[in-house]
Structure 1
Amino acid sequence: MKSDTVRPSSPLRVAVIGGGAIGGVLASSLHRAGHEVLQCVRSPFDELVVEERAGEHRVPARIVMSPEGLAPVAWVLLTVKAHDTGSTEPWLRALAGSGTTVVVAQNGIDHVERVQPLAPEAEILPALALIAAERVAPGRVRRHFGGALVVPSGRAGSALAAVLDGGGLDVRLASDFTTEAWRKLLSNVAANPITALTLRRMDVFDDPEVRSLAQALVREAAAVGAAAGADVGEQDVRDVFALSGLFTADNGTSMLYDRLAGLPLEHDLINGAVVRTAERLGVPAPLNRTMLTLARAVRADAA
Structure 2
Amino acid sequence: MTSEKPDVAVVGPGAIGTTVAAALHEAGRTPRLYGRTPRERVELRVGPPGADERVEVPGPVLTDPDAVAGVVDLVFLAVKATQVDDAAPWLAALCGPGTVVCVLQNGVEQAATVGPHVPRGAVVPAVVWFPAWTQDDGVVHAPGEVRLTLPDVPAAGPVVDALRGTRCDVDVSPDFVTAAWRKLLQNAVAGLMALTGRRSAVFTRPDVADLALAYLGEGLAVARAEGARLDDDVPGRILALFQRPPGDQGTSILTDRDAGRPLEWAVRNGVVSRRGRAHGIPTPVSDLVVTLLAATSDGPG
Q: What TM-score do the two structures reach when normalised by structure 1?
A: 0.91
Deviation at 1:36, TM superposition (A): 2.1
Distance across 1 between alignment mates of 2:249 and 2:178: 26
> Is 1:217 the equivalent of 2:211?
no
Partner of 1:85: 84
Question: Superposed, which structure 2 residues align to 1:248-267 within 5 Å?
Answer: 248-267=246-265
Aligned residues of 2:263 and 2:297 also touching (Cα < 8 A): no
Moved more, 174-183 or 10-19: 10-19
Change (3 A) 1:149 1:62: same
CA distance in 2, matches of 1:169, 1:88: 24
1:142-291 equivalent positions in 2, closer than 5 A: 142-191=141-190, 193-244=191-242, 248-291=246-289
Unaligned segments of structure 1, at least 5 residues: 1-6
Opposite residue 16 of structure 2, the aligned amino acid is I
Query: Which of 5, 8, 14 is the aligned partner of 2:8?
Result: 14
Kindly state the Cα deviation for residue 81 of structure 1 after the two structures are TM-superposed.
0.8
The Cα shift of 1:34 comes to 1.4
Contact 1:134 1:257 in 2 (8 A): no
Aligned to 1:35: 29
Cα root mean square deviation, aligned: 2.1
Instruction: Write the distance in 2 (CA, Å) between the matches of 1:138 and 1:301.
Output: 30
Distance 1:147 1:212, change over 3 A: same
Secondary structure at the residue paired with 2:145?
strand
Deviation at 1:40, TM superposition (A): 1.0
Gaps of 5+ in 2: none
> Which amino acid is 2:256 matched to?
D
The letter for the 2-side match of 1:100 is T
Query: Where does 1:285-300 land on structure 2 (aligned, <5 Å)?
Result: 285-298=283-296
Q: Where does residue 4 of structure 1 map in the other structure?
A: none
Tell me, in whole angstroms, the C-alpha distance in 2 between the residues paired with 1:11 and 1:245: 43
Partner AA of 2:262 in structure 1 = P
Give the conservation status (yes or no) of the 8 Å contact 1:223–1:233. no
How far the C-alpha of 1:157 sits from its partner, in A, is 2.0
Kindly, what percent of the aligned residue pairs are identical? 36
Asked if structure 2 preserves the Cα contact closer than 8 Å seen for 1:15 and 1:37, the reply is: yes
Contact 2:204-2:243 at 8 Å conserved across structures = no
CA displacement at 1:246 relative to structure 2: 6.0
Match of 1:3 in 2: none
2:56 alignment partner AA: R
Aligned length: 295
The answer as to whether partners of 1:195 and 1:201 remain within 8 angstroms in 2 is: yes
Post-superposition shift, 1:153?
1.2
Following TM superposition, by how much is the alpha carbon of 1:284 offset from its aligned partner in structure 2, in angstroms? 0.6
Contact in 2 for aligned 1:44/1:138 (Cα 8 Å): no
In structure 2, C-alpha distance between the alignment counterparts of 1:299 and 1:9, rounded to whole Å: 44
TM-superposed deviation, 1:145: 2.5
Structure 1 pair 260/40, CA: closer, same or farther in 2 (3 Å)? same
- For residues 33-55 of structure 1, give each alpha carbon's deviation from its aligned partner in whole angstroms, at most 9, with x where no partner exists: 21121111112233211122242
Instruction: Label 1:94 to 1:39 Cα distance change in 2 as closer, same or farther (>3 A).
Output: same
2:43 matched residue in structure 1: 49
The alignment partner of 2:5 has SS state of coil
Q: Which has the higher contact order (CA 8 A, sep 6+)?
A: 1
Deviation at 1:28, TM superposition (A): 0.9
Distance 2:2 2:128 in 1: 22
Contact 1:12 1:36 in 2 (8 A): no
Q: Which one-letter code corresponds to 2:141 in the other structure?
A: R
Does the residue aligned with 1:145 lie in a helix, a strand or coil?
A: coil
SS in 1 for 2:96: coil
Q: Is the 8 A contact 1:28 1:57 kept in 2?
A: yes
Contact 2:43 2:139 in 1 (8 A): yes
2:36 match: secondary structure = coil
Partners of 2:220 and 2:192 in 1: CA distance: 18
Higher alpha-carbon deviation: 266-275 or 204-213? 204-213
Deviation at 1:137, TM superposition (A): 4.3
Q: Take 2:165 and 2:147, find their aligned partners in 1: how far apart are those partners?
A: 13
Q: Structure 1's 153 and 286: CA in aligned 2 closer, same or farther, altered over 3 A?
A: same
For the pair 1:25 / 2:19, whether they are aligned, the reply is yes
Q: Secondary structure at the match of 1:124?
A: strand
